[in-house]
Amino acid sequence: MQQAGGGSETEVTWEDQQNINKFGRLNNRLHELEDEIKIAKEANENFEDASNELILTDEEVVRFQIGEVFCHVAKDEVEMRIEKMQETTAKHLEKLTDEKESVLAEMAELKKILYGKFKDSINLEED
C-alpha cells in the first residue's frame, strides 16, 4: 500500500500507474463481458422458443439451419441438436458470469487502493 503523498501535488509512482492501467483494462473487459452475456442470454431464449415450437409442431421433418442452408432433419435429431447447443451456451454463459464476478471484485479492490492514495484527485466511476 502506498503512503499518501503530502501537499497539493500527490506523487504518482509507476505502481500507481500500473494500477490505473489495470483498472482501465478491467473496466473495458467488464463492458465486453456484459455485451457477451447479453448475446448468450438471447441465444438461450431463442433455443427455448425453438424447442417449444418443436413440441407444438406435428411435422416429422423440420428444416434446421446448418450454415446458410436449411436441411431437412428428423424432429428427434433436431431436438437433440438444440439440446446440445443449449448445453454449450449455458456453460459459456456460466463461464462469462463467473469471469464478470471476478472482474468486479478486482475492480473493487483497485478502487479501494486508488481512492485511498488519491482521494478526490481521481475519479473511477462510470460517467
Partner 1 sequence: MATSSSPPQIASEVVAERRGIPAASFVKDVQAYLNQLGLDVNNTLAFLQERLQQYKVVEMKLLAQQRDLQAKIPDIEKCLDVVATLQAKKDSDEALLTDFEVSEGIYARARIENADSVCLWLGANVMLEYSCEEATTLLQNNLENAKASLEVLVADLQFLRDQVTITQVTIARVYNWDVHQRRVKNTSSSQDS
How many whole angstroms separate alpha carbon 44 and alpha carbon 92? 11
Q: Under the criterion CB under 8 A, does residue 67 sit at the interface with partner 1? A: yes
Instruction: Choose one: 12-20, 38-46, 95-103, 107-115; the region binding partner 1 (CB under 8 A).
Output: 12-20
Both ends of the chain: CA-CA distance in Å? 27
* Half-sphere exposure (Cβ direction) of 40: Cα atoms closer than 13 Å: 18
Q: How far is the CB of 81 from partner 1 (least distance, A)?
A: 10
Q: Under the criterion CB under 8 A, does residue 66 sit at the interface with partner 1? A: yes
* Largest Cα span, the chain: 79
How many whole angstroms separate alpha carbon 24 and alpha carbon 15? 14
Size of the site for partner 1 (CB under 8 A): 21
Q: Under the criterion CB under 8 A, does residue 14 sit at the interface with partner 1? A: yes
Q: How far is the CB of 49 from partner 1 (least distance, A)?
A: 20
Q: Under the criterion CB under 8 A, does residue 84 sit at the interface with partner 1? A: no
Nearest to 88 by CA among 29, 32, 47, 50: 47
Please report, as ranges, the residues that interact with partner 1 according to CB under 8 A: 8-9, 12-14, 17-18, 20-22, 24-25, 28, 63, 66-72
